[in-house]
Structure 1
Amino acid sequence: MATTVNERPRLLSPTYAATTVGMFALCAFVAFEATAVTTVMPTVARELDGVGLFALSFAAPLASGVVGMVAAGGWSDRKGPVTPLAVALLLFAAGLVVCGTAPTMEVLVAGRVLQGLGGGALTVCLYVLVGLVFPPLLQPAIFTSFAAAWVLPTLFGPALAAYVAHVAGWRWVFLGVVALVAAAALLIAPSLRTLDARATGESSPRSRLVWAVVGAAAVLALELLGSRRGAVAVLTVVAAVVVVVALRRLLPTGTLLLRHGLPAVIATRGLLSGTFFCGETYIIFVLQERWGLSAGVAGLALTGVGLVWPLASWVQSRLGPRLSDVAAMRGGSVLVLAGIVGLTAAVAVHTSAPVAVAAYVLAGAGMGFAYPRTSVAMLAESGDSDRGFNSSALSIADSLGGALAISASGAVFAIAARADGDAFVAALSLGCGVGVLAVLAAARTRQAAPRSTS
């Protein structure tokens, strides 16, 4: 799209307004379904008699999202972003419909898989479109709007989801978004018609998609098998081995060993996600079960994180070079660990609900402090030959790290429940263990030896 010579391009100028609003809305809808549904998921699990699959309902979209990201990236490189974007929208909408009409928890989890595939692919396609539709002068602004689109659902989404569930039922938390997704797609459709259906860059190896599928399936199988009784549970070991093999193919050499430098940076990102999202998965559930809070009141915990995460991110950005990337990652990971340990302790001794919420919010502050610096550190450790691979690896570690921790915590939750133990404490304790690994990984992010790019 082009503007007149004398007109300074603006995101909301007539040329770009519809596309800007449509892209912002699609990002916000993906974010809403990724975060706000946390408020209603305990109700969903109880109503569908599927508490045993509660953790899997969170791990599923994270794991399948990796497949969507890798598939959409390669497809966009080969054929351009228009067709993959259309498929992503259909998958995302189909997932919403399946979730909203699910008669059982198993069907709902299947819908969450579709949501993740569509949401992951949609995010990648939108990033590709930014480079094709908007001039370089506007690209930083549109990416800033994407960040805002993820923050707003965290602030207002939990209360909105709780209200919709109270007034119309939890199914409309999913179904109500379908029409909005269609409206947003119509807004960006005119800009898509101006694009050529051609490749936009060098295609990535298709083997990455294969390993993404294998890794995602193994992560989900880990929870399903680990929560079962008897000999079937032994297959958990097989699933774990498959996860390790897949991650070795998708991440830089040495990542799983926390090797100094870039591998430790990638590992830190994945372990931080695993620690934090383990807490996020159970915070609303435990506030309702142990303290009897309503979904709306419990959702204030998510709102608190929505406030402190961007604030902590702003603080670390203002410190700039006075705070090294290594120090930010170390400090942030310690805060995340302190938060998840505090949450676990609050649940174990059944202290007041505000203490549990404050611990979770502290973990959110740690994420805001460390999370952006993992991206900066990754780019600093990358060259022209491996920047794309490393960027992809960071996103894969982010999503699969969270999915793996949630799946493992779900298995631990089920085992503890069968043994008449405290299932919440058991699941959150696993998050504490992941947090310890995050601190260890962050301590090794300083380059100590020549890095490997394979």
Structure 2
Amino acid sequence: MSVQEVGWSALFSGRNGIRSIALAGGVGLHAINVYVATTILPSVVSDIGGLDYYAWNTTLFVVASIIGSALSPGLLASRGPRGAYGGAAVLFGLGTLGCALAPDMTVMLVGRSVQGLGGGFLFALSYGMVRIVFPEVLWPRAMGLISGMWGIATLVGPAIGGIFAEIGAWRAAFWSMILVVGLFGGLAVAVLPSRSPEEGQAPRTPLAQLVLLSLAVLAVSIGSVRPDLIWNLGGLIIALVLLAVLIAMEGRAEQRLLPRGSFDPSAPLALIFATMSLLTLAVTTSEMFIPLFLQVLHAQSPLVAGYLAAVMAAGWTVGSIGSSGAQGRSTARAIMLSPLVALAGMVALAWLIPAGSQGDWLTLGPLCVALAVVGIGVGIGWPHMLTRVLQLAPEEDRGIASAAITTTQLFATAIGAALAGMVVNLAGLSNPGGAAGTAHAAFWLLAVFAAAPLLACFTALRGIRLASGRVAATARAV
């Protein structure tokens, strides 16, 4: 295939173009729904009650998404791309319908759980079908397009949710999502192949590992919603114990949650997963609390603060799509550069945000640049890390490799959110609170989590070196 053929024109031409839209739409639906729900939840609670269960809307959604992503290889193998994607869209639509009709918080939580399950399927299947419907030379561009949907969702989701919340019609936000689900689900069923190479070879579900992973997320989430340090640490310790048991089980299990080598520190695959998880931690902390910091410390309205924080997601999209055309050694350089750039942005944020301002653009301008740098840094390497996972996974584990991408990302997001809450609480966000407490919390949050891209610099470098060494050894043997 020529250089011209592996450009964006090859990804968007003919049936490839329609398939690209369908797969990107699956991730887009999941991502936009996350931000729509977050935006309208205050209106939901004021209408149907359930403030005590506010956090569980997110917790149950994330846990169900992890379960869906882990179960996606079996669904894909048993139903084929067309049936799997269509079924996931129907499930997501049913959950959204339940949310739209919810008379109380109990029904809302059930709807959010079903939504999360369907969204987890869509999220993982979109990545999983890249290797089925596109030639390998197009994988980085397809991964860049799909992962870039999170940046678009950060811009679109709050706007949709905000508009419906402003006019007092939060249910209409869910109804609008149902229409979009039908559109993209129908498109996917029309253009995706009915069969895949793995069809009829459905892997058995690693039920024990999946239960342990879900319990670990629940333990951290429950611990993080309490203001007491003992609860925070207790939830974290329980989660670490559960993860240790999970890793031990994965080492000898026939039915695996992640590909072989995912927990071996001497394996390139494990180091790529570690790099992705660390970068996800850095972004999660920023996305959660920077809107609050901008409101309290930089005199911004909630709407403006939300969209300024979205600059990071926009940077991720730009970096991901812009670097996805790299080939050969350039892909290794992109992976190694990714955490370095993200680290520079995190250090700048730790310096700029706690200082505060009156909202003048002499301060906000550099702050926006720092936010964009973090996002661009992660985006530069992201499509190539995703592609490396598919390439490095053992042949017999290729089917679960794509699901492992989403499982790992969702788990890192959940853990990052819980840890971020612990750090800001300990650093004084609530006590003493106010501008002084917020500034102190902002500094410590960004400073502590700057360690994530710093560690990722080492895992990325070692992973690339190990992968290059194995390729050279293979070449000599041949």
TM-score range, shorter chain: 0.7 to 0.9
Contact (CA 8 Å) 1:223, 1:411: kept in 2 or not? no
Q: Matches of 2:34 and 2:386 in 1, distance apart?
A: 21
Structure 1 segments unaligned to the other structure (5+ residues): 1-8
Contact (CA 8 Å) 1:154, 1:302: kept in 2 or not? no
Distance of aligned partners of 1:380 and 1:202 in 2 relative to their CA distance in 1, 3 Å threshold: same
Aligned residue number for residue 368 of structure 2: 357
Q: Matches of 2:461 and 2:454 in 1, distance apart?
A: 11
Kindly provide the amino acid, as one letter, of the partner of residue 450 in structure 2: C
Compute the displacement of 1:444 (Å).
2.2
Residue 297 in 1 paired to residue 297 in 2? no
Residues 71-80 or 387-396, more deviating: 387-396
Aligned residue number for residue 4 of structure 1: none
SS of alignment partner, residue 354 of structure 2: helix
Distance of aligned partners of 1:335 and 1:226 in 2 relative to their CA distance in 1, 3 Å threshold: same
Residue 407 in 1 paired to residue 418 in 2? yes
Residue 218 in 1 paired to residue 216 in 2? yes
Structure 2 segments unaligned to the other structure (5+ residues): 1-9, 251-256, 358-362, 471-478
Q: Matches of 1:44 and 1:283 in 2, distance apart?
A: 24
Contact (CA 8 Å) 1:93, 1:181: kept in 2 or not? yes
Q: Matches of 1:305 and 1:414 in 2, distance apart?
A: 24
Compute the displacement of 1:40 (Å).
5.7
Aligned residue number for residue 457 of structure 2: 439
Aligned residue number for residue 65 of structure 2: 65
- Identical pairs, percent: 24
Aligned residue number for residue 7 of structure 2: none
Q: Matches of 1:77 and 1:119 in 2, distance apart?
A: 18
Aligned positions of 1:47-62 closer than 5 A: 61-62=61-62
Compute the displacement of 1:214 (Å).
2.4
Contact (CA 8 Å) 1:11, 1:142: kept in 2 or not? no
Q: Matches of 1:320 and 1:244 in 2, distance apart?
A: 37
Aligned residue number for residue 348 of structure 2: 342
Contact (CA 8 Å) 1:218, 1:239: kept in 2 or not? yes
Contact (CA 8 Å) 2:343, 2:454: kept in 1 or not? yes
Compute the displacement of 1:197 (Å).
12
Kindly provide the amino acid, as one letter, of the partner of residue 205 in structure 1: R
Aligned residue number for residue 34 of structure 1: 34
| Matching residue within 422, 432, 444 for 1:420 | 432
Kindly provide the CA deviation profile for residues 4-35 of structure 1, in whole angstroms up to 9, marking residues without a partner as x: xxxxx99898x999988766654432231235
Aligned residue number for residue 204 of structure 2: 205
Residues 36-45 or 147-156, more deviating: 36-45
Q: Matches of 2:390 and 2:142 in 1, distance apart?
A: 21
Compute the displacement of 1:218 (Å).
1.4
Q: CA RMSD in A?
A: 4.5
| Matching residue within 243, 261, 268 for 2:268 | 261
Aligned positions of 1:296-335 closer than 5 A: 296-301=303-308, 303-317=310-324, 320-321=327-328, 323=330, 325=332, 327-335=333-341
Q: Matches of 2:19 and 2:385 in 1, distance apart?
A: 30
SS of alignment partner, residue 350 of structure 1: coil
Contact (CA 8 Å) 1:60, 1:112: kept in 2 or not? yes
Distance of aligned partners of 1:148 and 1:390 in 2 relative to their CA distance in 1, 3 Å threshold: closer
Kindly provide the CA deviation profile for residues 105-140 of structure 1, in whole angstroms up to 9, marking residues without a partner as x: 8876665443322111123445677888x7979x97
Contact (CA 8 Å) 1:80, 1:200: kept in 2 or not? yes
Q: Matches of 2:260 and 2:466 in 1, distance apart?
A: 15
Kindly provide the CA deviation profile for residues 243-287 of structure 1, in whole angstroms up to 9, marking residues without a partner as x: 343356344677567546332111101111121122112233333
Kindly provide the CA deviation profile for residues 387-408 of structure 1, in whole angstroms up to 9, marking residues without a partner as x: 4454443333222122211122
Distance of aligned partners of 1:176 and 1:314 in 2 relative to their CA distance in 1, 3 Å threshold: closer
Residues 30-39 or 96-105, more deviating: 96-105
Residues 63-72 or 339-348, more deviating: 339-348
Distance of aligned partners of 1:164 and 1:151 in 2 relative to their CA distance in 1, 3 Å threshold: same
Contact (CA 8 Å) 2:81, 2:195: kept in 1 or not? no
Contact (CA 8 Å) 2:77, 2:200: kept in 1 or not? yes
| Matching residue within 394, 399, 406 for 2:405 | 394
Compute the displacement of 1:46 (Å).
9.4
Distance of aligned partners of 1:82 and 1:446 in 2 relative to their CA distance in 1, 3 Å threshold: closer
Aligned positions of 1:4-403 closer than 5 A: 25-35=25-35, 61-80=61-80, 84-85=84-85, 87-97=87-97, 111-125=111-125, 146=146, 152-187=152-187, 195=194, 200-207=199-206, 209-228=207-226, 229=228, 234-246=234-246, 249=250, 250-251=257-258, 258-259=265-266, 261-301=268-308, 303-317=310-324, 320-321=327-328, 323=330, 325=332, 327-351=333-357, 352-403=363-414
Q: Matches of 2:33 and 2:315 in 1, distance apart?
A: 20
Distance of aligned partners of 1:347 and 1:143 in 2 relative to their CA distance in 1, 3 Å threshold: closer
Q: Matches of 2:462 and 2:319 in 1, distance apart?
A: 22
How many pairs does the alignment contain? 437
Compute the displacement of 1:446 (Å).
3.2
Contact (CA 8 Å) 2:295, 2:302: kept in 1 or not? yes
Aligned residue number for residue 474 of structure 2: none
